[in-house]
Structure 1
Amino acid sequence: MGRLFIESLNGPKIFKCKCCKVDSASHDDIISKDFQGRYGRAYLFKNVIQFLPLPPSLQYVDFWVNISLGPNEDRHLMSGLHTVNDIYCSSCQQILGWRYDKENCPISDLEKAYEESEKYKEGLFILEKERMLKEGW
């Protein structure tokens, strides 16, 4: 196994993994607090911790630290069928939430048209409140 690199976020309000207390997201990246996860309330984020600036060779590649993504999975959520990736803490491997995949869509054209109102979620992240700690509040 390789060496684990952990990054820290700057800022007054940080979300951390509840299990191992590794930084996961900034309060500044919250889009909405009106979501439901597997374990209760969840927040929609425009980004989770991302190492910036990226080297030129990685500028157009999704590159995260402190989290890892699971495989694409079609999942029936409260808002319909979505292709998602589970988000895992890189340190303790606890599932923190999921990412709405922006490349793959559900197979049926009918479902794509039905889900048109949900397109805004593509590429965004859900973090479960139950799996997070707040620091600096």
Structure 2
Amino acid sequence: MDPRATYSCRNCQTPIAYRAELLSKSYMAKTGQAFLFSHARNIVFGQKQERNMITGVYTIAGIFCSNCGEELGWKYLQASEARQKFKEGKFIIERSKISKQY
């Protein structure tokens, strides 16, 4: 594992997250596989919304590349289930929207 590797927007190559910030590859989103990151950069937020998901109800905000506007995923703002609170403040980024750069 190279902690200096970055995940970048597939559309414009803007850096979004570092490999060292990747927490899990075991998530699903609209387009399929998604990754859970502790931090993300070069993003802008959409409006807050409540979303029913398999593991509970969450307040989330969509995240978009700050350079090209591509929708990348979302940030968990609040989890209704106590056992899902660990997701709060973390980012889901769809695998199909990013590429790994070394």
Normalised to the residue count of structure 1, the TM-score between the two structures is: 0.69
Gaps of 5+ in 2: none
1:33 equivalent among 25, 29, 37: 25
SS of the aligned residue for 2:47 comes to coil
Answer yes or no: is the 8 Å Cα contact 2:64–2:72 preserved in 1: yes
Equivalent in the alignment of 1:24: 16
Answer with 1 or 2: which has the greater Rg: 1
Answer yes or no: is the 8 Å Cα contact 2:4–2:20 preserved in 1: no
1:79, CA displacement in angstroms? 1.4
- The count of corresponding residues between Structure 1 and Structure 2 is 100
How far apart, CA to CA, are the structure 2 residues paired with 1:12 and 1:31?
Answer: 15
Residue 68 (1) aligns with residue 68 (2): no
Moved over 3 A (4+): none
Q: Note the 1:92-111 alignment, pairs <5 A.
A: 92-102=68-78
Answer yes or no: is the 8 Å Cα contact 2:7–2:18 preserved in 1: yes
1:79 equivalent among 52, 55, 66: 55
- Pick the structure with more strand per residue: 2
Q: Could you tell me which amino acid in structure 1 is paired with residue 38 of structure 2?
A: K
How far apart, CA to CA, are the structure 1 residues paired with 2:99 and 2:88?
Answer: 25
Gaps of 5+ in 1: 1-10, 50-65, 106-111
Per-residue CA deviation, residues 107-134 of structure 1 (Å, 9 max, x unaligned), is xxxxx3xx11111101111111000011
How far apart, CA to CA, are the structure 2 residues paired with 1:22 and 1:78?
Answer: 31
How far apart, CA to CA, are the structure 2 residues paired with 1:89 and 1:77?
Answer: 23
Q: CA RMSD in A?
A: 1.3
SS of the aligned residue for 2:61 comes to strand
Equivalent in the alignment of 2:39: 47
